[in-house]
């Protein structure tokens, strides 16, 4: 099922968050041997977990969350190695995130959750749903990381100005490379990097509010004060490379997903090409695929109202996860 959606179609449909809803609260929970930071946005209804992309953080969901909060209880996570969640000796990436997300659902959400994943977070969400179908009500995948063809590796990294070949080389020795990375990026203008990473991955003409840019700039300044600020990124990149190189296993995991799933993808995504979404749709033909016309890799920033409307229109029709789901699959 294919749909084309434009930004203008939702202006009247989704309302901003009412002012009387409680403020976001950052909290921490011990998972996998270390702390995991998460924002509890509150809200009524079943739990919804928001999983960020590589290099991202729970901060990324600030524009989308207010539209979802009235109907779902939102939890936005910082995965280990990102945001305010230190690695603490833990691995990073989609595969090691699977047991952490499952444990978070058991201990914090305490009932099956809707998983919403952007980019790497979308890949993580698929692996969680494949391995633990009983814990997932539904999936919403926003430009999820997935190979455009078997064995394909991303031609462009989400990190502004960093070629993928360099990231691949650095990810083979992430701990050592993470010590050197601050020396490299220190010579570059921080604001240029942040703007380039966000705006550079958007579609042409995208208008990102200045306060959003400034919030992410301040977040990046804080990250640079840590001893190895980019080790989590490099470890996650290596894990994604592994998954892309083992396409048959990854495709089998996708085919095993029984949770209702909505797929949203920008038509001009420069990071995860639209052909990757077509491959996912071919593996799971029942998943509705909505093309976000003129949108790049950052629908959370580019068209949050459009994303919210599509989600809120679709989720009531998604039903519940089948309690008799097939056995779990793990990569």
* pLDDT for the residue 181: 61
What span, in angstroms and rounded, lies between the C-alpha atoms of 20 and 44? 13
DSSP-derived secondary structure letter, 229: T
DSSP 167-205: HHHHHTSHHHHHHHHHHHHTTS-HHHHHHHHHHTTSPTT
Structural tokens at position 17: 């968050």
DSSP-derived secondary structure letter, 106: I
- Over range 304-324, report the average pLDDT: 79
Q: What is the pTM of this model?
A: 0.83
Domains identified in the chain and CATH numbers: 2-154+246-317 (3.40.50.1820)
* pLDDT for the residue 161: 52
Estimate to the nearest angstrom the gap between the alpha carbon of 69 and the chain centroid.
18
Per DSSP, the three-state class of 160 is coil
Question: 3-class secondary structure for 290-322?
Answer: EEECCCCCCHHHHCHHHHHHHHHHHHHHCCCCC
pLDDT tens track for 218-268: 888 887 776 667 788 888 988 998 999 899 999 999 999 999 999 999 999
pLDDT tens track for 76-121: 999 999 999 999 889 999 999 999 999 999 999 999 999 999 999 9
pLDDT tens track for 114-132: 999 999 999 999 999 999 9
* pLDDT for the residue 223: 75
In the predicted structure, residue 195 carries a pLDDT above the cut 90: no
């Amino acid at each position: 099922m294919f749909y084309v959606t434009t930004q203008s179609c939702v202006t009247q449909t989704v309302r901003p968050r009412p002012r009387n809803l409680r403020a976001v609260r950052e909290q921490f929970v011990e998972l996998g041997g270390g702390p995991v930071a998460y924002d509890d946005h509150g809200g009524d209804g079943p739990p919804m977990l928001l999983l960020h992309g590589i290099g991202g953080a729970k901060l990324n969901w600030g524009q989308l969350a207010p539209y979802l909060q009235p109907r779902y209880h939102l939890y936005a996570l910082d995965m280990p190695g990102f945001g305010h969640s230190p690695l603490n000796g833990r691995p990073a990436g989609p595969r090691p995130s699977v047991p952490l997300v499952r444990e978070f659902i058991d201990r914090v959400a305490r009932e099956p959750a809707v998983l919403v994943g952007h980019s790497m977070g979308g890949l993580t969400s698929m692996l969680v749903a494949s391995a633990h179908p009983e814990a997932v009500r539904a999936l919403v995948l926003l430009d999820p990381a997935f190979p455009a063809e078997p064995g394909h590796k991303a031609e462009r990294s989400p990190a502004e100005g960093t070629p993928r070949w360099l990231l691949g080389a650095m990810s083979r020795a992430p701990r050592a490379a993470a010590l050197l990375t601050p020396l490299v990026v220190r010579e570059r203008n921080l604001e240029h990097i942040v703007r380039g990473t966000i705006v550079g991955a958007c579609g042409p003409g995208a208008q990102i509010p200045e306060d959003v840019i400034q919030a992410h700039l301040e977040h990046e300044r804080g990250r640079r004060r840590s001893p190895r600020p980019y080790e989590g990124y490099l470890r996650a990149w290596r894990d994604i490379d592994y998954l892309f190189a083992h396409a048959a296993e990854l495709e089998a995991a996708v085919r095993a997903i029984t949770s209702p799933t909505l797929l949203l993808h920008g038509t001009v995504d420069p990071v995860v090409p639209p052909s990757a979404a077509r491959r996912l749709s071919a593996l799971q033909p029942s998943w509705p695929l909505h093309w976000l016309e003129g949108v790049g890799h950052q629908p959370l920033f580019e068209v949050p109202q459009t994303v919210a409307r599509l989600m809120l229109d679709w989720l009531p029709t998604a039903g519940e996860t089948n309690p008799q789901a097939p056995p779990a699959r793990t990569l």
